[in-house]
Structure 1
Amino acid sequence: MTKRLLILGGTEFLGRATAEAALAGGWEVTVFHRGTHAPPAGARELRGDRTEPDGLAALAQTTERWDAVVDTWSAAPGAVRDSARLLADRAERYVYVSTCSVYAWPRPAGTGTEAPLVEGDPDSTASTDYPGDKRGAELAAVREFGADRTVLARAGLILGPYENIGRLPWWLTRIERGGTVAAPGPRGLPLQYIDARDLARWLLDAADQALSGPYDLVSPGGHTTMEELLEACVRVTGSTASLRWVSPEAVEAAGVEPWTELPVWCPPGELHDAMHRADVTRTLESGLRCRPVGETVADTWAWLVSIGGVPPRREGRPSPGLTPEREADLLKS
């Protein structure tokens, strides 16, 4: 029997990757979205804006049923509450894409889903802060669908084709320009992230296997390093760029911000522990498989080239990366 999937979103980054993976896997896919981007070929679409009073009308008026719902909502939790309440009797499982940011800061290195959580209000209709919004949405999904029918996919850093945040695209476009590139060290600094396509595949598998509860969705510790990531960028772009490694102390002295001005990178210590040292044993045991970093980098570059080299930007998100002037100052340090 053909499996049926409803994606709340489904036209950008992870949502699009999930729709494409589902279609390739033989699922019948419906995407519910605002209509600002075209859905993948083969997907049925319903339109509505979840921030509007009657925004779920298209869902309310259909009598369709689904095997699973995938929801990537990142704003006020009330939208997840309303969607989950409407669909609770019409879908078998609610897969909510949350974030590792729901863990109380600073998250200790080596912890999994047992780590303490931030507070969240499932009924809030006003967006407050990202961690609180996501936690509130988790609570809303669980309340409406029940803990045994809800999957909480707490994603970490997501990379890959269709990325509309701009982290890996910034490194690729900067390295492709050539010259001396400020590469934040140490070279062997371990990174945890997840390719959006690997996350999409896990979301579908989680629904298929009737999983429930929270899972952290990032690669195993040490899946790659900062050096491997940046060297892959040099390789796939064919650039003549030279990586000049700068120490965490030099980055700090120059006043450069980790993660935002130097995307992906966090210096060793509390920030790195929280962002790149999670215990994902539970998720690996559930079947998560992560492709090599070189494949993620190469495919992201191929996608960037295909759209003219200018990555899309998610509404309301600042552009990551160093300006040329800031990078020149860092290289002088």
Structure 2
Amino acid sequence: MRILILGGTGFIGPQQVDYALARKHQITLFNRGQSGKGLFPQVPRIVGDRNAANGHDGLKKGTWDVVIDNPTRNPQWVRGAGEALKGRVGQYILVSTISVFSDYSKPGMDENGPMHAPAAPENWASNDGNYYGPNKVQCEIDAKAQFGADKVTIVRPGLIVGPGDLSDRFSYWPVRIDKGGDIMAPGLPSDPVQYIDVHDLSEFIVRLGENHTIGTFNATGPKSPTNMAEMLYGIKAVTSSDAKFTWVPADFLAQHTVRAWSDMPVWQPGQGRTAGFMAVNCQKAYAAGLTCRPLADTAKSTLDWYKTRPAAEQEKLRAGLAPDKEKTVLAAWRAKNG
């Protein structure tokens, strides 16, 4: 099978390439050529800048059975790819996000949940997180308009985790737990949690192409519902840590400006307007072949990878509480509760 991967050298792309090559597919990469220059020297690469006026011109020659569009958050990129590839693609797979949804108050939301209104054109190139979901909504609309709904597969991951994730939105927990000591755990132990290992997501996407599976799929995991306590204790189990968890309620965290998701990664309160954020229905994806590896595998591989990173990156994670802030809030919680 001939697969064109738009991107291919970031977080999920290399996993797709490895998996597809192992399954004897012919891969072509399209990207700016500025990152991952040493990756996959045996794989043909088309160079193009998707922000440039004629940035997709390199795609005007060649035919592919499957195109996988990984990094797209700008609808103009979808339009540019569609115009350049018109009539020469068997299937277009867009990596979207569960952030297309506008209401997370109800657990169990499937692919037909309420969505944001599409972003206005003046916001398509914005890096403002407020436009991320609306821009992805417009990307989904444009994918079907450009390639035809009968050739489009939309995959909506939740939080993508594992080795190579420079956002540290999951890495914080294996790293913090490995250091041991008294750890602040957010909310309730029963608050739901969802995430998808980068390998599982990447392999699922390749298999969707192999099987020519068309449709839209929420794609996060694990398959069996889990919660913050199971995740944190599961991560601890792959370390020799002496970590002890102190559970601090969501309202107390908010009072001390500890934010869900960024300061306390992977977590959103399991009540109120975020009750369903970590409880999205992914049964359609599981039926289509999505599999989820054990948490122990993801936690260990993430921690092992983290320890190979440059010292400066290890010292300052991009997500999670600073040690001093954690100690301060824990002390305040204990002072309040005797």
TM norm structure 2: 0.88
Distance 1:302 1:273, change over 3 A: same
In structure 2, distance between residues paired with 1:144 and 1:123 = 17
Which sections of structure 2, spanning at least 5 residues, go unmatched?
334-338
Matched, 1:71 2:73: no
Counterpart among 197, 200, 203 of residue 202 in structure 2: 200
Q: Which residue of 2 aligns with 1:85?
A: 83
Q: Greater CA deviation, 67-76 or 134-143?
A: 67-76
Give, in angstroms, the shift of residue 149 of structure 1. 0.3
Distance in 1 separating the partners of 2:34 and 2:238: 31
CA distance in 2, matches of 1:125, 1:187: 38
* Residue in 2 that maps onto 1:155: 157
SS at match of 1:167: coil
Deviations 1:39-80 (A, max 9, x none): 6324322211100112123223xx321111111234321111
Q: Which moved more, 1:265-274 or 1:234-243?
A: 234-243
The reply on whether 1:214 has 2:224 as its aligned counterpart is no
Match of 2:323 in 1: 324
Q: Which residue of 2 aligns with 1:51?
A: 51
Distance 2:9 2:74 in 1: 20
Look up the match of 2:232: 230
Alpha-carbon distance between aligned partners in 2 of 1:284 and 1:169, rounded to the nearest angstrom:
25
Counterpart AA for 2:136: K
The one-character-per-residue Cα deviations of 1:77-132 (angstroms, maximum 9, x if unpaired) are 11111112211322210000001111123353212011122122596683251011
CA gap 1:138/1:248 in 2 versus in 1, 3 angstroms: same
2:140 matched to which residue of 1?
138
Question: CA deviation digits over 1:197-235, x for unaligned, max 9?
Answer: 111111111111112121100115644332232223334
Closer/same/farther in 2, CA of residues 311 and 13 from structure 1, 3 Å limit: farther
C-alpha separation in 1, matches of 2:282 and 2:184: 31
Contact 2:107/2:276, CA 8 A, preserved across alignment:
yes
2:96 is aligned to 98
- CA shift in 2, pair 1:297/1:309, >3 Å: farther
User: How many residues in Structure 1 have an aligned counterpart in Structure 2?
Assistant: 324
Letter aligned with residue 12 of structure 2? L
Cα shift readout 1:285-319 (whole Å, capped 9, x = no counterpart): 1111111111111111122223346659xxxxx92
Take 1:4 and 1:178, find their aligned partners in 2: how far apart are those partners? 47
> Residue 327 of structure 1 aligns to a residue in which SS?
helix
Cα distance 1:125–1:131, how it changes in 2: closer, same or farther (>3 A)? closer
Q: 1:107 to 1:36 in 2, by over 3 A?
A: farther
Query: Using the alignment, how far apart are the partners of 1:201 and 1:34 within structure 2?
Result: 24
Residue 328 of structure 1 aligns with an amino acid whose one-letter code is K
The 3 A distance-change label for structure 1 pair 91 and 309 is farther
TM-score of the superposed pair, with normalisation by structure 1: 0.89
2:242 corresponds in structure 1 to 240
RMSD: 2.3
CA distance in 1, matches of 2:2, 2:122: 30
Q: Distance in 1 between matches of 2:224 and 2:91?
A: 32
* Alpha-carbon distance, 1:8 to partner: 0.6
C-alpha displacement at 1:190, in angstroms?
2.7
CA shift in 2, pair 1:29/1:309, >3 Å: farther
Q: CA deviation at 1:29?
A: 1.3
Q: Does structure 2 retain, via aligned residues, the 8 Å contact 1:122–1:137? A: no
Distance in structure 2 (CA, Å) of the matches to 1:33 and 1:202: 22
Q: SS of 1:262's equivalent? A: coil
For residue 324 of structure 1, report the CA deviation from its aligned partner: 1.9
Tell me which moved more, 240-249 or 41-50. Answer: 240-249
Give the Å deviation of 1:185.
3.9
Contact 1:254 1:329 in 2 (8 A): no
Q: Are the equivalent residues in 2 in contact too, given 1:56–1:83 (CA < 8 A)?
A: yes
Unaligned runs of 5+ in 1: 313-317
Of 224-233 and 261-270, deviating more is 224-233
Share of identical aligned residues, percent?
31
Q: Aligned residue for 2:336?
A: none
